[in-house]
């Protein structure tokens, strides 16, 4: 009778152990006379495994929700940066055309400053004029804000977005895989238990027959 630890057999790419399906309960437990303790121990293993799976499930669901919230934000920010970049490109082109005319610093003709309404508070907005600079500031969280040139900012945001999207995809895959394994584990537990009940009943009946006979 082999109480093999079946739980280290396979893992999926991100280290979630695969739950093997016990096709033949009897064989797994080592024949009809397999010791009674082994199935019990295996129930407990299975239950512990289910608990771990459930915990991981909760974790991943949380992570997925966080990512789903962040991704639209990153998209918006990237869009803004690209827009600013384009606006500047447009202005610079105009500049080149009128280079000989205006050597002074930024006077009216090619410059149309961007007026924007920004949020001071939840219900309060104010108007401001954006300076024509190629530097933007990105809030990276944890009280950290860095200044970037427009192009650097765009590439940083793009890579953040790609990372987040890939992570989200992986998390969703993991969740599905996890649900599968959880089900397999629960089915195993149920089958081993049922088989054990059946076996006890058979033993009892066999015992009674022997007594009568």
2-21 binders of other proteins (CB under 8 A): none
Output 52 or 158, the one with its CB closest to other proteins.
158
Output 56 or 74, the one with its CB closest to other proteins.
74
Composition of the chain by helix, strand, coil, percent to 5: 60, 15, 25
Output 106 or 116, the one with its CB closest to other proteins.
116
Binding other proteins by CB under 8 A: which of 51, 65, 76, 204? 76
Q: How far is CA 79 from CA 56, 74, 84, 106, 126, in A?
A: 34, 9, 9, 26, 22
CA distance 20 to 184: 7
User: Between 85 and 124, how does the x/- string for binding to other proteins read (CB under 8 A)?
Assistant: ------------------------------xxxxxxxxxx
For residues 73 and 195, the answer to whether their CB atoms sit within 8 Å is no
* CB 148, min distance to other proteins, A: 10
CA distance 28 to 162: 45
For residues 117 and 125, the answer to whether their CB atoms sit within 8 Å is yes
| Among candidate residues 19, 58, 36, the one with its CA nearest the CA of residue 171 | 58
* CB 198, min distance to other proteins, A: 46
Binding other proteins by CB under 8 A: which of 129, 143, 211, 212? 129
User: Between 145 and 184, how does the x/- string for binding to other proteins read (CB under 8 A)?
Assistant: x-------x-------------------------------
Binding other proteins by CB under 8 A: which of 62, 106, 135, 194? 135
Question: Binding-site residue total for other proteins (CB under 8 A)?
Answer: 34
Output 44 or 133, the one with its CB closest to other proteins.
133
Q: Under 8 Å CB-to-CB from 195, ≥6 apart: which residues?
A: 25, 26, 29, 39
User: Between 44 and 73, how does the x/- string for binding to other proteins read (CB under 8 A)?
Assistant: -----------------------------x
Beta strands in 4-74 (DSSP E): none
Q: Which residues partner with 135 through β-bridges?
A: 149
For residues 196 and 85, the answer to whether their CB atoms sit within 8 Å is no
For residues 129 and 123, the answer to whether their CB atoms sit within 8 Å is no
* CB 94, min distance to other proteins, A: 20
* CB 93, min distance to other proteins, A: 21
List residues near other proteins by CB under 8 A.
Answer: 73-74, 76-77, 80-81, 84, 115-131, 133, 135-141, 145, 153
């Amino acid at each position: 009778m082999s109480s093999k630890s079946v739980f280290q057999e396979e893992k999926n790419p991100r280290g979630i152990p695969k739950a093997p399906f016990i096709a033949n309960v009897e064989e797994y437990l080592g024949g009809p006379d397999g010791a009674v303790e082994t199935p019990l121990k295996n129930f407990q293993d299975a239950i512990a495994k289910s608990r771990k799976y459930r915990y991981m499930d909760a974790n991943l669901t949380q992570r997925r929700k966080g990512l789903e919230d962040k991704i639209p934000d990153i998209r918006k920010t990237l869009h803004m940066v690209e827009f600013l970049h384009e606006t500047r490109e447009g202005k610079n082109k105009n500049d080149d055309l009128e280079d000989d005319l205006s050597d002074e610093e930024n006077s009216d003709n090619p410059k149309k400053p961007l007026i924007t309404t920004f949020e001071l508070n939840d219900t309060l907005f104010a108007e401001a004029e954006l300076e024509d600079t190629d530097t933007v500031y990105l809030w990276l969280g944890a009280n950290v804000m860095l200044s970037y040139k427009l192009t650097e900012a765009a590439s940083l945001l793009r890579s953040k977005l790609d990372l987040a999207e890939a992570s989200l995809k992986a998390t969703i895959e993991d969740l599905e895989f996890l649900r599968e394994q959880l089900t397999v584990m629960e089915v195993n537990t149920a089958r081993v238990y049922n088989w054990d009940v059946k076996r006890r009943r058979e033993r009892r009946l066999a015992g009674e027959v022997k007594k009568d006979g």
